């Protein structure tokens, strides 16, 4: 059975591309989780729209910013689901590295497609003292959201002592949850071999360069 993770990656890129390339609009003073999303979107814009930077410099600086906003290892282990419990420390570490490279490489490939969009923070909700969902709506550059605006939500956790982006959803589909299902299906057909999954992610990353 062939497994194609590119479809997940493209939806991931759609969410992150639209969000991180977009000017952000806030109607009122934002709560800390909203400010975290808004401020870092602006930082991303500054990098990506800086004419003095080469394409390589933009890519490198953006990757550095992206990795500073997220705990990639935490997200990677979440996507392993039940298989994380039986994995060795070496397997978990190898998967975390492959997952990070996979996410960044695919994101870079499709990044430029979503420039010129705007992102409006519409509010947030608190799931727990350290767990927030920030709600946004994507509009075109004129601010016209159209009849069917695209909703992109961000999950922000603060349990490590600083805000971190741990997941995001496009139209109600949470990306990390979908990746977990896809990886579980792959592992189920490969006798739970995480090394095989790592190799597959590395190949996908190479194909997206």
Average pLDDT of the chain, as a whole number = 79
Nearest to 61 by CA among 15, 93, 20, 120: 20
- What order do you get walking across the sheet with 173-174 strand by strand? 24-26, 118-128, 131-139, 150-157, 164-170, 173-174
Other residues' Cβ atoms within 10 Å of the Cβ of residue 175: 23
Residue 58: its pLDDT value, please?
79
Residue 1 pLDDT > 50? no
More confident residue, 46 or 141: 46
Q: Provide the percentage of residues in the chain whose pLDDT is more than 70.
A: 70
Q: Closest by alpha carbon to 119, among 65, 45, 51?
A: 45
CA nearest to 122, candidates 90, 147, 100, 154: 154
20-46 b/e (C-beta count within 10 Å ≥ 16 → b): bbbbbebeeebbebbebbbebbebbbe
The answer to whether residue 29 scores a pLDDT higher than 60 is: no
**What local confidence, expressed as pLDDT, does residue 45 receive?**
65
Sign of the CA dihedral 66, 72, 78, 80? positive
The pLDDT tens digits of the residues spanning 42-91 come to 677 677 677 898 878 877 887 888 788 888 899 999 999 999 999 999 99
12, 20 contact by CB (below 8 A): no
Q: Which fold has domain 6-208?
A: Nuclear Transport Factor 2; Chain: A, (3.10.450)
Q: Which residue has the higher pLDDT, 11 or 187?
A: 187
More confident of the two residues 2 and 202? 202
What is the SS3 assignment for 24? Answer: strand
36-40, 110-114, 145-149: least confidently modelled range = 110-114
Helix and strand totals (H; E) in the chain: 8, 6
- Specify the pTM: 0.76
Measure the CA–CA gap between 84 and 107, rounded to whole angstroms.
24
Query: What is the per-residue pLDDT across 157-209, written as a single tens digit (0 to 9) for each?
Result: 999 888 998 888 877 888 888 899 999 999 999 999 999 999 999 998 887 76
d(CA 171, CA 14): 11
pLDDT digits (tens, 9 = 90+) for 62-75: 788 878 888 889 99
Residue 76: predicted pLDDT: 93
Helix (H, G, I), strand (E, B) or coil at 124: strand
């Amino acid at each position: 059975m062939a497994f194609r993770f590119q479809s997940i990656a493209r939806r991931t890129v759609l969410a992150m591309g639209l969000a991180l390339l977009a000017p952000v609009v806030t109607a009122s003073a934002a709560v800390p989780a909203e400010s975290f999303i808004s401020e870092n979107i602006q930082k991303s814009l500054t990098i990506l729209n800086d004419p003095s930077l080469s394409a390589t410099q933009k890519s490198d600086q953006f990757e550095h910013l992206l990795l500073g906003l997220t705990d990639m290892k935490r997200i990677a282990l979440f996507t392993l689901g039940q298989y994380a419990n039986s994995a060795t420390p070496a397997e978990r570490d190898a998967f975390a590295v492959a997952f990070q490279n996979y996410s960044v490489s695919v994101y870079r490939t499709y990044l430029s497609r979503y420039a010129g969009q705007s992102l409006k923070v519409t509010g947030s909700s608190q799931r727990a003292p350290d767990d927030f969902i920030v709600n946004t709506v994507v509009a075109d550059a004129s601010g016209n959201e159209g009849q069917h605006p695209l909703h992109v939500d961000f999950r922000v956790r603060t349990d490590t002592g600083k805000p971190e982006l741990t997941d995001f959803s496009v139209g109600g589909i949470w990306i990390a949850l979908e990746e977990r299902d896809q990886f579980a299906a792959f592992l189920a057909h490969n006798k739970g071999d995480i090394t095989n999954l790592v190799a597959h992610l590395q190949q996908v990353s190479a194909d997206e360069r």
